[in-house]
Structure 1
Amino acid sequence: MAATTTARTGQVAPFTSFLRFVLCGGGVTLLASGVLLLVGDRVPLAAANAVVTVGSTLLATELHGRFTFGRGGAGWSDHAASGLTVLISYLFTTGALLGFAAAHPHPGALAQQTVYLTASALAGLGRFLLLRLIVFRPTRPTTAPRLGREAVVAAA
């Protein structure tokens, strides 16, 4: 069985982090969907979706920092950068749906869902890469020079 972290950087291995990304992101998405079902009839859907999207993005970013990429808790800059990847994903999926609707004015539900799910999968892959390579990139360990016994004795 392959190690889940690389020895040099302590970063979670790519395949393992991708599986964790899918599980954490999918779990948070299911949770968000449930929250929308619970509040959808009491709050305007657009407002509920906005609040749920912000909340689920904050939760997913924290989970990704801690578990997906093994870097620890997410700071505010991580949350802001992750939010930007969500915005890019939203624009990408919306563009795909609008482009498909322009090319096929009366699409069936199956075709529309295929376009949406394909665009979402591509956006998710892009999001994973941005989070792994930029937002949660491993920090280079700073190593202090090792002082041998001679250096300690000489300093005394």
Structure 2
Amino acid sequence: MAHAPQPDTTGAPDTTGAPGITGAPRAPGAPRASRASASFVRFVVFGGGVGLASSAAVALLAGLLPFALANALVTIVSTVLATELHARFTFAAGLRPATGRCPLRCGLRHHLQSAGTAAAAFSVTTLAMLVLHAIEGTPGLAVEQTVYLSASGLAGVGRFLALRLYVFATAPEQRPVPVSVDLHRSPTRRESLTTAS
């Protein structure tokens, strides 16, 4: 003889996320993981796009200015641009403009922190190449590219995490606390007296 399922009176939320069950929330972490993946794709697209535009701009400006000056100018502008794009679109930080007339969303603190992460990423790739050349005097092109791209990838992931978790971190979402009512609990003597009066 089959018994009807008893209602859950423990108050614990159902996190199974089973399909077909109305009102069953998804497993915790799944939406957050998908948001992080989407942010990482936008980070690569915007960062890569700014990087490609920067290399073209340096090549154009190098004909008019000394290379060091052209590279410095483009690096500053591209870092500011990438920071703004990441704030507005990659992480959707929801920042208001720094001042009433300034079109920039990020304040000086965000730009300095973002520049710090870019400098750290540059240091990682430079250190990787220095170590490679210290170990092997004349490495082949394939080895150099493998080391450089591996270091760049590692530095990029580190920069993404630093921007997401520190520079553009937002307050965690406030979730309602489930309220449980125990229907099988008998009222205490004090509750019975209060109800009777």
Q: TM-score, normalised by structure 1?
A: 0.79
Q: Which runs of 5 or more residues in structure 2 are unaligned?
A: 1-28, 95-104, 175-197
Rounded to whole Å, the distance in 2 between the matches of 1:115 and 1:47 is 28
Q: Structure 1 stretches (4+) deviating beyond 4 angstroms?
A: none
* 1:76-105 deviation per Cα after TM superposition (whole angstroms, max 9, x unaligned): 111010000011111111100000000010
Partner of 2:12: none
Partner of 1:3: none
CA distance in 2, matches of 1:39, 1:116: 26
Cα-to-partner distance string for 1:86-142 (whole Å, 9 max, x where unaligned):
111111111000000000100122211221111111101000000000000013579
**Which residue number in structure 1 is paired with residue 121 of structure 2?**
89
Report the equivalent of 1:113.
Answer: 145
Q: CA RMSD in A?
A: 2.1
Larger deviation, residues 127-136 vs 38-47: 38-47
Q: 1 or 2 for the larger relative contact order (CA 8 Å, sep ≥6)?
A: 1
TM-score (norm: length of structure 2): 0.63
Aligned 8 A contact 1:17 1:69 in 2:
yes
Gapped regions of structure 1 (runs ≥ 5): 1-5, 143-156
SS in 2 for 1:41: coil
Task: Provide the rounded CA distance (Å) in 1 between the counterparts of 2:168 and 2:81.
Answer: 15
Q: How does 1:144-155 map to 2 (within 5 A)?
A: none
Structure with more helix by fraction: 1
Percent identity of the aligned residues? 47
1:44-82 deviation digits (Å, cap 9, x = unpaired): 222211211111010000000000000132221110100
Q: Where do residues 1-156 of structure 1 align in structure 2 (5 Å cutoff)? A: 13-72=35-94, 73-139=105-171
Aligned pair count reads: 134
Question: Which protein shows a greater Rg?
Answer: 2
